[in-house]
Amino acid sequence: MSAPTLTTAHTDLPTTGTDGTPRTTPTNPATTADPHPLHPTADFYGLFADLPEADREAWARARALADDALPAVNDAWEHADYRLDLVRRMGDLDLLTDGVPTPGSAPLSPLAAGLINMEVARIDGSLATVIAVQGGLTMRTLQLLGSAEQQAAWLVPLARAEKLGAFGLTEPLHGSDAVGLETSAVRDGDDWVLNGQKRWIGNGSVGDMTIIWARNEEGKVNGFIVSQDTPGYVAEAITGKVSLRGIPQALITLTDVRVPEAARLPGARSFRDVSRVLMATRAGIAWAALGHAIACYEAAVAHAEIRVQFGKPLASYQLIQDRLATMLGSLVTMQLHCRRIAELDAAGRLRPEQASMAKVQCTRLARTVAADARDLLGGSGILLENHVIRHLADLEALHTYEGTDSVQSLIVGRSITGIGAFA
């Protein structure tokens, strides 16, 4: 798939806020035609200056999403509106695979997949979470653990967003200790009968299929492809959520859900197989955290240049400059983590604790960058129209999902000490 023509600048956003104050319109201030689309200072070490052409092309495809998405995402967030038209646009732009090899899709290096995660998160965390759920978790499960028939049936429609997939692991009583999951799978003739509950499942109430992780009668964890219209599958969107409001997560109740043996993933024999999928997706969360932080940093720089207090731009004050320098230092650290795990991944040498390290450090740093940017914008910082508060709120979910901050840190701790401290 070739890169789209990138010509449109983000000039369609209003230049003042609802209160008449200049808006910073900070996120993605450069044009989509810019061959190096970060804010001039945001790539301080030039880590993205000399990318291979194929990786740059993937980044440009992600950037093209901004033209449709940026004007829409704040409203979608405010009204908890899942913009399926934007998800389909992501399919058109071939942004959903997270690097899972798929017929008809562009092959992505780990760096290219990371850049897509980064750029889409820089636009919007809910849309980046679609990649994590659809490509990172669902398609990767099919790639690693599915049969040839299952892959042939699902990978292409999922990549194109013709179908939506979900990954049902977490349960009401088992989050960090998902290894203790209680959903049951009982063999009955040629079928399996599933009973249990799943919580926090992205696309679980609005998609076409959900991969349900369940324990068989021998106590082993198996995975099943369950069509969401199967009798006994009841899903309701979780409400009252103030992070990632642009994508719903579901509470799913499974009551005597019957699926054929052909729906069982042949490669999923124990929880270790689930862990292989989760490890592979954690790198993407590190990249997404970087994208959120870049958006917030760019907002802060733009606001500091525009906003005049005590007769001078904020940018002229020492405290402001120190704060911007600290934010930039955090960006550089995150960029180094991300580039290095992409290199390790490409070489087939990425270890689980390294993916955990990158996930923890990047989400922690992104949270501090977003909080600093929120403060630097003053009252404007809590207005959706200036984008920062959405990123700050969305980062709360990244802090927790795909392995919490604490548990991922304890995985690193276990690799240091040889002692498991969380189980």
Ligand X SMILES: Cc1cc2nc3c(=O)[nH]c(=O)nc-3n(C[C@H](O)[C@H](O)[C@H](O)COP(=O)(O)OP(=O)(O)OC[C@H]3O[C@@H](n4cnc5c(N)ncnc54)[C@H](O)[C@@H]3O)c2cc1C
Choices 9-17, 78-86, 165-173, 269-277; region in contact with ligand X by CB under 6 A = 165-173
Q: Is 297 in the site for ligand X (CB under 6 A)?
A: no
Q: How far is the CB of 140 from ligand X (least distance, A)?
A: 13
Least Cβ distance, residue 176 to ligand X (angstroms) = 3
Told to check if 397 binds ligand X by CB under 6 A, we report yes
165 binding ligand X? (CB under 6 A): no
- For ligand X, the binding residue among 4, 17, 22, 175 (CB under 6 A) is 175
Q: Should residue 183 be labelled a site residue for ligand X when binding is judged by CB under 6 A?
A: no
| Pick 278 or 304: Cβ nearer ligand X | 278
* Nearest CA-CA partner of 284 in 111, 92, 85, 409: 111
CB 164 within 8 A of CB 208: yes
Q: Which is nearer to ligand X, 59 or 401 (CB)?
A: 401
CB of 172 to ligand X, least distance (A): 8
Does residue 181 bind ligand X (CB under 6 A)?
no
Task: Report, in Å, the least distance between residue 91 CB and ligand X.
Answer: 18
Overall residue count recorded for the chain in this entry: 423
316 binds ligand X (CB under 6 A): no
* Closest to 235 in 3D by CA, of 212, 213, 214, 205: 205
Q: Is 105 an interacting residue with respect to ligand X (CB under 6 A)?
A: no
Our CB check for ligand X shows the closer of 252 and 324 to be 252
Report whether 211 contacts 221 (CB < 8 A): no
Q: Interface with ligand X includes 278 (CB under 6 A)? A: no
Q: Kindly report the three-state secondary structure assignment for every residue of the chain.
A: CCCCCCCCCCCCCCCECCCCCECCCCCCCCCCCCCCCCCCCCCCCCCCCCCCHHHHHHHHHHHHHHHHHHHHHHHHHHCCCCCHHHHHHHHHCCCCCCCCCCCCCCCCCHHHHHHHHHHHHHHCHHHHHHHHHHHHHHHHHHHHHCCHHHHHHHHHHHHCCCCCEEEECCECCECCCHHHCCCEEEEECCEEEEEEEEEEEECCCCCCEEEEEEECCCCCEEEEEEECCCCCEEEEECCCCCCCCCCCEEEEEEEEEEEEHHHECCCCCCHHHHHHHHHHHHHHHHHHHHHHHHHHHHHHHHHHHHCEECCEEHHHCHHHHHHHHHHHHHHHHHHHHHHHHHHHHHCCCCCHHHHHHHHHHHHHHHHHHHHHHHHHCHHHHHCHHHCHHHHHHHHHHHHHCCCCHHHHHHHHHHHHHCCCCCC
> Is residue 133 close enough to count as binding ligand X by CB under 6 A?
yes
Q: Which of 368, 407, 412, 413 binds ligand X (CB under 6 A)?
A: 407
Interacting span for ligand X (CB under 6 A) from 102-110, 119-127, 161-169, 291-299: 161-169
User: Is 45 a residue that touches ligand X (CB under 6 A)?
Assistant: no
| Smallest separation, CB 381 to ligand X (Å) | 23
Cβ proximity to ligand X: between 48 and 287 the closer is: 287
Q: Which is nearer to ligand X, 213 or 297 (CB)?
A: 213
* Interface of this chain with ligand X, residues 223 to 262, rule: CB under 6 A: 244, 249
Q: Could you tell me the smallest distance in angstroms from the CB atom of residue 320 to ligand X?
A: 33
Position of minimal CB gap to ligand X: 175
Q: Minimal distance in Å, beta carbon 236 to ligand X? A: 15
* Interface size with ligand X, residues (CB under 6 A): 19
Q: Pattern of binders to ligand X over 341-360, x per CB under 6 A?
A: --------------------
If one asks whether residue 400 binds ligand X (CB under 6 A), the answer comes out as yes
Q: Which residues are CB-contacts of 362 (< 8 A; sequence separation ≥ 6)? A: 285, 286, 287, 289, 290, 293, 334, 337, 338
Q: Provide the minimum distance between the beta carbon of 423 and ligand X in the complex, in angstroms, as a whole number.
A: 6
What is the Cα–Cα distance from 321 to 417, expressed in whole angstroms? 39
Does 168 contact ligand X by CB under 6 A?
A: yes
Among 154, 167, 192, 224, binds ligand X (CB under 6 A): 167
Among 118, 201, 296, 304, binds ligand X (CB under 6 A): 201
Contact residues: ligand X, CB under 6 A: 133, 167-170, 175-176, 200-202, 244, 249, 397, 400-401, 404, 406-407, 422
